[in-house]
Amino acid sequence: MRWFNNLGIVTISTLTVRILFPLMPVGFALIASEKGWGLLNNLHLPFWLAVLAGVLIFDFFIYLQHVVFHFMPTLWRLHMIHHCDLDFDLTTGIRFHPVEIVLSMIIKLGIVYLFGTQALSVLVFEIILNSTSMFSHSNLKLPLAFDRILRLFIVTPDMHRVHHSVIIRERNSNFGFNLSCWDRLFGTYRDQPEKGHEGMVIGLANFRAAEKLGLLRLLAMPFTSWHP
């Protein structure tokens, strides 16, 4: 049943983001470049530097978006769909409410408009984001020494798994998707869960029963009643 519900959410999310919006931010970046909109389009940087700067800008603002979706009650209702999964695996990484995906797309268009990110930056970022989201949500168990080195640069599964803890203070940490530096810079980094990964409970405390996690209930959840 859990896989059926995840498959439904993932299918709807995939249709929303990969069919309705496959080239929207890339196309908008081309328009922004032609019109001279945004900061980077007016700095006349070398192309490679503009592309790199655009990817970093996107990664930073997606980190900020994630933080906001946790602390703004209305947005948290949408993001809860991602966190009420009782397991942590590859499907968790693409389990988002369609409305959250639409809002995220609007934010990305705003980033393109304000910063004039190159179309290549947008394309590269989307490829990286989708790849690292599946990696960081996977149930891979990396050797501890390798994980410690790797998480100095990117978000590892063990690092992000803490973010899916049922304990609120752990859930409100490790917001990064790609680069791990933002959590370290802004004080949201947590090295390990209090009870260890074996003892950590995944999900939300108020959503443990199967009847609360059906596909239709998940889609309606943000619009029905308030849950902390």
Position 152 pLDDT exceeds 90: yes
3-class SS of residue 156: coil
Average pLDDT over residues 29-33: 95
3-class SS of residue 142: coil
What mean pLDDT value characterizes the chain? 88
Residue among 91, 100, 106, 113 at smallest CA distance from 29: 113
Instruction: Write down the pLDDT at residue 17.
Output: 57
Separation between Cα atoms, residue 201 and residue 194, nearest integer Å: 11
Residue 14 banded pLDDT, cuts 50, 70, 90:
low
Average pLDDT over residues 189-217: 88
Token pair of 108 as six digits: 């990305």
**Under a CB-based contact definition with an 8 Å cutoff, are residues 227 and 80 in contact?**
yes
pLDDT in tens, 214-226: 777 888 888 876 5
Residue 4 banded pLDDT, cuts 50, 70, 90:
very low
Residue among 5, 49, 21, 3 at smallest CA distance from 130: 21
Q: Return left, alpha or beta for 121; rule: phi > 0 is left, psi -120 to 50 is alpha, else beta.
A: alpha
pLDDT in tens, 37-96: 999 999 989 999 999 999 999 999 999 999 999 999 999 999 999 999 898 988 888 888
**16 vs 93, residue with greater confidence:** 93
**Under a CB-based contact definition with an 8 Å cutoff, are residues 81 and 222 in contact?**
yes
Position 5 pLDDT exceeds 90: no
**12 vs 113, residue with greater confidence:** 113
Domain boundaries, the chain: 2-142+208-223
**Under a CB-based contact definition with an 8 Å cutoff, are residues 113 and 32 in contact?**
yes
Instruction: Write down the pLDDT at residue 31.
Output: 95
